[in-house]
Amino acid sequence: MTEASSPILCVRNLSFSFERDKPILKDLTFSIPKGSFTLVTGPNGSGKSLLLRCLKGLLQPNCGQIHLLSEDLTQKAKQRMQAIGLVFQDAETQIVGQTVEKDIRFGMENIGLSMQEQETRLQEVLTLLDLHKQKNQRPRTLSGGEKRRLAIAGVLVMDPKLLVLDEPFANLDYRSVVSVLSTLLRLQQEGHTIILVSHEVDKTLAHADHVLLLDDGVLVQSGTAAEVYPYLQAHGIYLPSSAGIKDLSWLKR
Ligand SMILES: Nc1ncnc2c1ncn2[C@@H]1O[C@H](COP(=O)(O)OP(=O)(O)OP(=O)(O)O)[C@@H](O)[C@H]1O
């Protein structure tokens, strides 16, 4: 993955406000390289979740353009909704089925996929997310990490062009963080483009090939991990002392 890779998503001059003259997202311009593992970071309240909601089509920006694979989808929120798979910060709210399998099938049944296509996709995501053993289990009996993986499975099975996750490590213990992070890296290797929103850069920065740093609704830096790293601490992002970029991963501890 290099910075030169063609973009899957291009955002130009995006602004968003709930109230007139009180912009929250301010003139954001950036692109996301296809196949990248992009980390969107910034302190609490910097606008990360709102940005995801604007991209997904849950909120409409006041101005700006959103192009996905060179197609202008700015005014096509429904198409953005289908193309962008979003795993919410509170991923458990996305789990609706009585069993793991039923939950994964839910979205596919809603869009009327044939049983054969459902079966193919189901088997694929059970393997990718390592959930075969839990197939018949009730979701509420899953561990935190398994629930997070199930929420990802439910989104992935809809075949999104872009997989976006809002704080997927929140409230997870070390082993579950490792499990979810390894899963995301495996998905990237399979060819998926991943946008991860997290202020816990100590867990992931080593794996990010593209980073966006937001503060107070402004994109203050974007580029490779090495380019953005020197600006993190000044914008309230915790970094362990004397850690280099390669140390900033929970997979290597
Ligand atoms: N529904 C709303 N009405 C008014 N202001 C809102 C609303 N939702 C969010 N905000 C404000 O928008 C700003 C950005 O919020 P957002 O949730 O996007 O931040 P964030 O970077 O995701 O924060 P965190 O890391 O805490 O999740 C915050 O100041 C927040 O108070």
Residue 51 CA to ligand 1 center (angstroms) comes to 10
CATH of the domain at 217: 3.40.50.300
Structural domains of the chain, count: 1
- pLDDT tens sequence across 193-218: 999 999 899 999 999 999 999 999 99
| Residue whose entry in the numeric block shows the structure tokens 């044939």 | 114
Contacts of 120 (CB under 8 A, 6+ apart): none
Residue 82 CA to ligand 1 center (angstroms) comes to 24
Which of 19, 20, 49 to probe ligand 1 with, by most ligand atoms within 8 A of CB?
Answer: 49
Domain-embedded: residue 57 = yes
Domain-embedded: residue 252 = no
User: What pLDDT score does 253 carry?
Assistant: 52
**Of the spans 85-89, 106-110, 145-149, 211-215, which averages the highest pLDDT?**
211-215
Residue among 49, 30, 48, 41 nearest 225 (CA) = 41
51 contacts 40 by C-beta, under 8 angstroms: yes
Protein residues with CB under 6 Å of any ligand 1 atom:
18, 24, 42, 44-50, 199
* Tokens read off for 194: 């991943």
Domain-embedded: residue 253 = no
Whole domain around residue 47: which residue ranges? 7-247
* Tokens read off for 209: 């090939």
Residue among 146, 253, 129 nearest 203 (CA) = 253
Domain-embedded: residue 1 = no
- pLDDT tens sequence across 16-71: 999 988 999 999 999 999 999 999 999 999 999 999 999 999 999 999 999 999 89
What is the rounded distance in angstroms from the CA atom of residue 64 to the CA atom of residue 34?
A: 21
Residue 53 CA to ligand 1 center (angstroms) comes to 11
Domain-embedded: residue 115 = yes
- pLDDT tens sequence across 66-99: 999 989 999 999 999 999 999 988 878 888 899 9
Domain-embedded: residue 242 = yes
Domain-embedded: residue 2 = no
pLDDT over threshold 70, residue 1? no
The SS3 call for residue 46 is coil
User: Nearest 5°: phi and psi at 221?
Assistant: -150, 150
Residue 49 CA to ligand 1 center (angstroms) comes to 7
Beta bridge mates, 212: 40, 222
- Percentage of the chain beyond pLDDT 70 is 97
188 contacts 194 by C-beta, under 8 angstroms: yes
pTM of the model: 0.92
Domain-embedded: residue 77 = yes
